[in-house]
Amino acid sequence: MAMRAMVGAFRKRSFANRSLSTRTLILAEHEGGSVKASSLSAVEAAKFLGEDNSVSLLLAGSGPSLEEAASHAASCHPSISQVLLADSDKFTYPLAEPWAKLVHVVQQKGRYSHIIAGSGSFGKNILPRAAALLDVSPITDVTEISGSHLFVRPIYAGNALCTVRYTGSDPCLLTIRSTSFPSGSITSRSDSNAALIEKVDLSTFSEDDTIGKSKYISLSSQDTERPDLGNARVVITGGRALKSAENFTMIEKLAEKLGAAVGATRAAVDAGYVPNELQVGQTGKIVAPELYMAFGVSGAIQHLAGMRDSKVIVAVNKDADAPIFQVADYGIVGDLFEVIPELLEKLPDKK
C-alpha cells in the first residue's frame, strides 16, 4: 500500500491574496467539434473544490470545429456555467506560448481561484508556462481533491502518495489524472438550459518575444477504429518479449477480438515495435481500464505507475518472478507465443 506524506507548497504571499469564492477555469481540449474526455474529467474534479463553485470552460482555436466544440461544451455537462471562446488563428494549434498568454489574459479579467487541466500532453505543455506568467506554483498529477486547497498526488513512480496543502495566492493551478476523476455517463443539458457562450476579448492579447519560438510541424496518429488508449475499457499491452514489430501484430489482433486499445511498454516503443503514442507508464499514458492484459511485460516500476489503478490486471510472462505478478489479479506463467494464439483461436470475433 502506498505511503502518505504531508507537505506544504509554501509561497511568500499571504492568504490575503486569496479569493473568498471558488471560481474555476478549465483549460479544455477539443477535437472534431467535441470536448475531449480528459477535459470533462477536469470538470468532474472541479466539483470537489466546493459546493458553490462556478465553472468556466476555456476553448481556443479557429474555424467551424471550434464553434461546434463550443456548442458541445455548453450542453455536455451540468456543472459548466460558462464557455469562453478564444477564436483566432494564433490558437489553430495548441502551442504552449500563445495558450499560456491566453490563460494570463483570461485570468486578469476573470480572477479565478483555480485553473485546471488534464495531465496529458496538452495540460503538461501549457500549465507550467502559464504558472510562470502568473507567478504561482502548479500542483501536478492530482489524483484526489480533499478540499479547495488540499490535494493528493503520487510520488516515487506511484509508490507513495503525497498530500499537498496549497498556501499560495490565487489562482491555484492543477493538472489532474483523468483516470482518477472519470466523467462516466453524464446527462446532457437541453439547448434551453445550455451554458452561456462568451467570446474572449483578445484586444489586449499582445504578441511578445515568446510567441513564435515554437511552431507546429505535424500530427501523426494511427488510422484505426480501436478505442482511445486513455479511455478504453480494455487495454492489451505488449512488452519487449514480443521481439519484433511483426510479432506485435498478435497483440493488435487480440485487441480487435476484444474491442480493446493497444498499449506498449517503453522498451517495446524504444525498440521500434510501435509508435510512442501507445506507451503506457510514468513517461507515457496513465490508464485505468476495467481489464488490463499484459503480455511479455516484466513490470518495471515506471510501467506500473501508468496502469496500477486498473480494475482487473491479467499478466502472461515466462518468468515466474516477474514484478508484474505482484500487482496482477490473474497470472499465467507461460510463453506468450503459445498463449496468444490459443486465445485468438478460442475467443469469438467481436460483433
Q: How wide is the angle at C-alpha 147 spanned by C-alphas 154 and 169, nearest 5°? A: 90
Tens digit of each residue's pLDDT, the chain (351 residues): 454 455 544 343 444 455 568 999 999 999 889 999 999 999 999 999 988 899 999 999 998 999 999 999 999 999 999 999 999 998 988 899 999 999 999 999 999 999 999 998 899 999 999 999 999 999 999 999 999 999 999 998 788 999 999 999 999 999 999 989 988 766 666 666 789 999 999 988 876 666 667 888 877 666 667 888 988 999 999 999 999 999 999 999 999 999 999 999 999 999 999 999 999 998 899 999 999 999 999 999 999 999 998 999 999 999 999 999 999 999 999 999 999 999 999 998 766
> Alpha helices of the chain — where are they, by DSSP H?
37-46, 64-76, 96-110, 121-134, 245-258, 266-270, 301-304, 324-327, 336-346
DSSP state of 280: B
Q: How far is CA 268 from CA 227, 240, 242, in A?
A: 20, 5, 8
